[in-house]
A and B are shown apart, each in its own frame.
Chain A
Amino acid sequence: MRRRQSGDTLVLIEAQLTASQRGLTMAETAASGNFKVIGTRPVRPDGVDKVTGRAKFGADYSFPGMLHGKVLRSPHAHALIKLIKIDKALALPGVKAIVTSADLPEAENKSEQAGEMAVNPRHLSANILARGKVLYDGHAIAAVAATSPHIAEEALRLIEVDYEILPPVMTVDAAMAPGAPILIADLRNKEEGDKPTNVATHYQFKRGDVEAGFKSADFIVEREFNTAMVHQGYIEPHNAVGIYNADGNATIYCSTQGIFDVRLLSSQVLGVEVGKIRVVPAEIGGGFGGKTTVYLEPLSVLLSKKTGAPVKLTMSRAEVLRATGPTSGSKIKIKMGATRDGRLVAAQIWMAYEAGAYPGSPVGAGAMTIVAPYTVENFLIDGYDVVVNRPKTAAYRAPGATNAAFASETVIDELAEKCGIDPLDFRIKNGVQEGSPQVVGPPYKRIGYLQTVEAIKNSPHYKSKLTGANRGRGVASGFWFNAGMQSSAIVNIHPDGTASVVTGSPDIGGSRASMAMIAAEVLGIPMTDVRPVVADTDSIGHTDVTAGSRVTFATGMAVYEAARDAARQLVERAAKAWEKKPEEVELRDGMLHTKGNGVPPVSIKQLAPRFPRTGGPIVGRASLNARGVGPAFACACVDVEVDPETGKVQILRATVAQDAGKAIHPSYVEGQMQGGTAQGIGWALNEEYFYDAKGILRNTGLLDYRMPTCLDLPAIDAIIVEVPNPGHPLGVRGVGEVSIVPPPAAIANAIYRATGVRMTETPMSPPKLLKAILRHRSSAANAKAAG
């Protein structure tokens, strides 16, 4: 095992900015690299609370008279609910209320915009409490409120449910087979007309002439890949405290990636106006996309309404795994062709993703990312969103892209090998850059794909020699769109010249630090003089989810604008005091200066106490629907050692390069890159949803849902590449997601070099890899015998 102490870090900066950024003072600063705060590594403002146990996560809230709720869940994968009898449970001392779907209003069967995604309120409601039918093991049926969580649990045992068990449909193959049992009676798709189906949507992307493309290819690789359903694995289970008041107003305290989404979705499920619900963001213990929808939140309000008391619900780990939103397992058939000189000329791809119980897998994103890093002249990509008797999937870090890249980046490795070209050079040769068309058509703006590949190529890791038996090195790339959407920010200047910056983006990985840094940079004051606040839904303008790598980009843009608004007011205020025109005053390094001679400069600290007598408080504001999203690319290099007798893989070394655009707080950017890489490694090697023949999830705990421990991972070197995003005043791209995409393919490619085996299935767990190794050996032996 390599004994290096820590990841080495390198920041590559490409300083030139495009013309679109001209006219922005800060952008000029960005180009010159003369930031005072941005790019430094200060301690996060919420840090002390988090290392002393003071930070309040959702489950840490309690209120006088609070009751505890628990949810009864289906023990069957697919069944009709004939009868629910609650009288025995209600009779248990301490039980205060029980709710079922009969307590929820009928929700409309339509598609509605909710944050990032389209949501069907009927499906959402039925996922929260099953209506007549259960569609997966763990599907919620009823919820109990009692004086203690133990009593609530015992009450669940006393609820009687009669089921009519139906055959489970667990895979896309089973769901798409003719005559397959139908999960949702009224589900239809365009192509099958009025025929009941399990295929919710068919996506297709087409460019050029794929047949002609293959004719021009010298090498063609065709393979089928299968990836297992996996979970985000956040350490904090879902939670919610609901308080319903007699006046019809409700408050929800919960750990969520999107308070405004919780408000909207809860209002849809409960049939209550949005304005009657306030959502207070607790600290959130990880989400990775899995906390962008609701499960317990509406139930907490419903039970509170029924009992008149605050009600807290928390999930057990088994509930988290059985009944929240993992990401899709998938089947991908892929055929790609290249010319002898290493030019990709054609790709034909068929991909089907498990949506879970209700439509909405990320297969569309998978289809749009699968060849996104490459200019391929001809392709035909078909994607199918398929319902199966598994939990409804939710977003998971670059949703859909990791499955897709596992397939395409493995095949590209194989093509590079056939062409006799280094796999990184092959990627550089075919890689997209500014002006290359995206899969969906429009050209890329400024992107840093090639720079990430070059960064790996020039890394100490790739340049080092890997020696030793059963060892191999693999590389792979990844693409993710990143997201814009709506954000709001307020910057208050306090009487002592310090500031607070208020946003609606729950801080899941240190975003308070970057928000404070951006405001400090604009105002020219120390970061420690800016206190960041994550406010509730009544205290800040609408802000979409902390997801899609959007917070530093979009909320950061709002903070930047709000701070500039405050700065403009400071200038006006000083000008007024000095009887100058505003354009004669400027704010520089926290000091207000007059242009030319005259008045000595005044600091914000000196000016602020005089606000009451010069026109009142100064509040900078911004709200926006962010444009200028800059996509992200990553490239990873992984060394493995395989035990050929047991199939166990050890990760020896890992390096990831990623284009951040501009790293506001480099430590937290590296943290995102390292964390995404770790999740990708877990996905690659051992994580999977393991269902039995009846569709019951067998691995419902963290003993058998095997996420990497710190003994399973090496130091992870993070190379931040900075190719500024021309669409952001500070050059920021999102950094939260793309690093999860390359590892599974990089590991498969490394395993190939260590063993000669091409893995086409995740997880590449010891039993699966050993089987492949033994098969490979016996076929090699047969070939030798025959030869």
Chain B
Amino acid sequence: MATVVIPSLLRKFTGGAERVAADGATLRELIRTLNARFPELTGDLVENNEIRPSIAVSVDGEIATSGMLEPVRPDSEVHFIPALGGG
């Protein structure tokens, strides 16, 4: 199972857990699994079945470029981080 690192301010939705194990071969599946366990969590991450524009997802240290279709491996580590712009 992949490990999802929960952003600090959302840990209230996971009972304080920082790292949560979840199944899924893509981000979409992963989020579906998370949603089943922590229904309040994913609303802040996903909107209309897409990752929110204000959020970037890092899978194994690489910013996802395929949105919800981004592949996730069983040993992947997934982080949700604020999207940012450069100058």
The answer to whether B44 and A289 have CB atoms under 8 Å apart is: no
Residue in A204, A444, A549 whose CB lies within 8 Å of B86: A549
Kindly state whether residue B63 has any CB partner on chain A within 8 Å: yes
The answer to whether A288 and B87 have CB atoms under 8 Å apart is: yes
A483 to B56, CA, bound (A): 12
Stretch binding the partner chain, chosen from A29-37, A64-72, A623-631 = A623-631
A202 to B7, CA, bound (A): 12
Residue in B47, B77, B84 whose CB lies within 8 Å of A442: B77
Residue in B47, B52, B53, B62 whose CB lies within 8 Å of A627: B62
List, sorted by A's number, 24 A–B pairs whose CB atoms are closer than 8 Å: A114-B53, A116-B83, A116-B86, A117-B53, A118-B52, A190-B9, A205-B8, A289-B85, A364-B83, A365-B84, A398-B87, A399-B84, A399-B87, A440-B81, A441-B58, A443-B61, A482-B86, A547-B86, A547-B87, A548-B85, A550-B86, A627-B62, A627-B65, A727-B62
Bits for A321-364, please: 1 = Cβ < 8 Å to B, else 0. Answer: 00000000000000000000000000000000000000000101
Bits for B22-50, please: 1 = Cβ < 8 Å to A, else 0. Answer: 00000000000000000000001001000
Given contacts A440-B79, A629-B63, are A396 and B85 in contact (CB under 8 A)? Answer: no
Residue in B9, B79, B82, B86 whose CB lies within 8 Å of A483: B86
What total of chain B residues lie within 8 Å of the partner, measured CB to CB?
Answer: 25
A85 to B65, CA, bound (A): 49
Interface SS of A by simple majority: loop
The answer to whether A395 and B53 have CB atoms under 8 Å apart is: no
The answer to whether A625 and B65 have CB atoms under 8 Å apart is: yes
A629 to B9, CA, bound (A): 27
Distance (Å) between the CB of B79 and the closest chain A CB?
5
Kindly state whether residue A112 has any CB partner on chain B within 8 Å: yes
The answer to whether A368 and B62 have CB atoms under 8 Å apart is: no
Q: For residue A740, which residue of chain B has the nearest CB?
A: B87
The answer to whether A480 and B86 have CB atoms under 8 Å apart is: yes
Bits for A597-628, please: 1 = Cβ < 8 Å to B, else 0. Answer: 00000000000000000000000000001111
The answer to whether A397 and B58 have CB atoms under 8 Å apart is: no
Residue in B47, B81, B82, B85 whose CB lies within 8 Å of A395: B85
Kindly state whether residue B68 has any CB partner on chain A within 8 Å: no
The answer to whether B53 and A481 have CB atoms under 8 Å apart is: no
Residue in A190, A364, A727, A736 whose CB lies within 8 Å of B82: A364
Q: Which residues of B contact A (CB under 8 A)?
A: 5, 7-9, 44, 47, 52-54, 58, 60-63, 65-66, 77, 79, 81-87
Question: Which residues of chain B are near A205, meaning CB under 8 Å?
Answer: 8
Distance (Å) between the CB of A728 and the closest chain B CB?
13
Q: For residue B86, which residue of chain A has the nearest CB?
A: A548
Question: Which residues of chain A are near B84, meaning CB under 8 Å?
Answer: 116-117, 362, 364-365, 368, 399-400, 481
Kindly state whether residue A768 has any CB partner on chain B within 8 Å: no
Compute the total of residue contacts between A and B using a CB distance below 8 Å. Answer: 111
A625 to B82, CA, bound (A): 19
Q: Considering the complex of A and B, which 7 residue pairs feature the smallest CB-CB distances, nearest first?
A: A289-B87, A548-B86, A118-B53, A116-B85, A364-B82, A442-B61, A625-B65
Bits for A276-298, please: 1 = Cβ < 8 Å to B, else 0. Answer: 00000000000111101000000
Beyond the given pairs A190-B44, A232-B87, A292-B87, 6 more chain A to chain B contacts, judged by CB atoms under 8 angstroms and listed by A's residue number, are A203-B9, A204-B9, A483-B85, A547-B86, A629-B63, A736-B86
A59 to B54, CA, bound (A): 34
Q: For residue B5, which residue of chain A has the nearest CB?
A: A441
Question: Which residues of chain A are near B82, meaning CB under 8 Å?
Answer: 203, 364-365, 368
Question: Which residues of chain A are near B81, meaning CB under 8 Å?
Answer: 368, 440-441
A362 to B81, CA, bound (A): 13
Q: For residue B83, which residue of chain A has the nearest CB?
A: A118
Question: Which residues of chain B are near A122, meaning CB under 8 Å?
Answer: none
Question: Which residues of chain B are near A397, meaning CB under 8 Å?
Answer: 86-87
A440 to B83, CA, bound (A): 12
Question: Which residues of chain B are near A206, meaning CB under 8 Å?
Answer: 8
Bits for A679-719, please: 1 = Cβ < 8 Å to B, else 0. Answer: 00000000000000000000000000000000000000000
Question: Which residues of chain B are near A734, meaning CB under 8 Å?
Answer: 86
Residue from B54, B66, B82, B87 with most neighbouring chain A CB atoms (10 Å): B87
Distance (Å) between the CB of B2 and the closest chain A CB?
13
The answer to whether B86 and A111 have CB atoms under 8 Å apart is: no
Question: Which residues of chain A are near B63, meaning CB under 8 Å?
Answer: 484, 627, 629
- Would you list which residues of chain A between 250 and 292 have a CB under 8 Å from chain B? 287-290, 292
The answer to whether B86 and A481 have CB atoms under 8 Å apart is: yes
Kindly state whether residue A418 has any CB partner on chain B within 8 Å: no
